[in-house]
Amino acid sequence: MTETVAKPAYTRILLKLSGEALMGDDAFGINRDTIDRMVDEIIAVSAMGVELAIVIGGGNIFRGMAGGAAGMDRATADYMGMLATVMNSLALADAISRKNVPARVMSAISIDQVVEPYVRPKALQYLEEGKVVVFAAGTGNPFFTTDTAAALRGAEIGAQMVLKATKVDGVYTADPMKDPTATRYSRISFDEAMVKNLGIMDATAFALCRDQKLPIKVFSIVKPGALQRVVRGEDEGTLVYA
């Protein structure tokens, strides 16, 4: 008897990962077991026929340099953070490629000997070919977060949704770690989230998604199978809609 595989509800998505998600239980850096587990989830979604692009932060790398960055010029610190995202992107793409799924890293800042530059038509071509595309170096500009990069790249590639992967399984009425009575929103509008100041993404990213009517799904990347359930359209995490 042939097993029926559930079809995805989305065909092209942008996954936003925090650098801290790669740390596991480590103080900083990349935990190999953690990245391998995430890659298994990513590959499972790619195997469903979903075109998948990823934006990843650099906080796990930059955290190890935090002491030396104290008092540094903000623009300089942001450029260092961009380089940290390139390191994370290379590590993630390598882990994906080692499991026989093609992955490409495209950088918003020019490092031609390491990664290719971000060019929108080329990124779209890679996605249509079934490759996982990892967008590195944020927007290429200081003062903009990787949340904003995720919203921008998601809009540029025509993603149907931005998936924000966190350690919490959605958006709650209060901090669930501090308030045991907090309840999870299954879905919430952009306007309501703004009124309640829920802090789902930074203001620039949030406004861009709202203006482009690009929905956001907040879910837990540490919850086994959550990414697949989100892509299948199941009630996993919190949907933020226009």
Q: Would the annotation count 148 as a binding residue?
A: no
Q: Would the annotation count 227 as a binding residue?
A: no
CA distance linking residue 54 with residue 172, whole number of Å: 25
Q: Would the annotation count 139 as a binding residue?
A: yes
Q: Would the annotation count 34 as a binding residue?
A: no
Q: Would the annotation count 164 as a binding residue?
A: no
Q: Would the annotation count 60 as a binding residue?
A: no
Q: Would the annotation count 19 as a binding residue?
A: yes
CA-CA-CA-CA torsion sign (186, 7, 158, 87): positive
Q: Would the annotation count 63 as a binding residue?
A: yes
Q: Would the annotation count 145 as a binding residue?
A: yes
Cα distance from N-terminal residue to C-terminal residue, the chain: 42
Question: Could you give the angle at which helices 203-211 and 146-156 cross, rounded to 10 degrees?
Answer: 20
Q: Would the annotation count 154 as a binding residue?
A: no
CA distance linking residue 59 with residue 76, whole number of Å: 15
Among 69, 104, 62, smallest CA distance to 83 is for 62
Q: Would the annotation count 49 as a binding residue?
A: no
Q: Would the annotation count 58 as a binding residue?
A: yes
Q: Would the annotation count 241 as a binding residue?
A: no
Q: Would the annotation count 166 as a binding residue?
A: yes
Q: Would the annotation count 197 as a binding residue?
A: no
Alpha carbon 142 to its chain centroid, in Å, reads 19
Q: Would the annotation count 141 as a binding residue?
A: yes
Q: Would the annotation count 190 as a binding residue?
A: no
Residues belonging to the binding site for ATP are 16-19, 59, 63, 166, 172, 175
Residues belonging to the binding site are 16-19, 58-59, 63, 78, 139-146, 166, 172, 175
Residues belonging to the binding site for UMP are 58, 78, 139-146
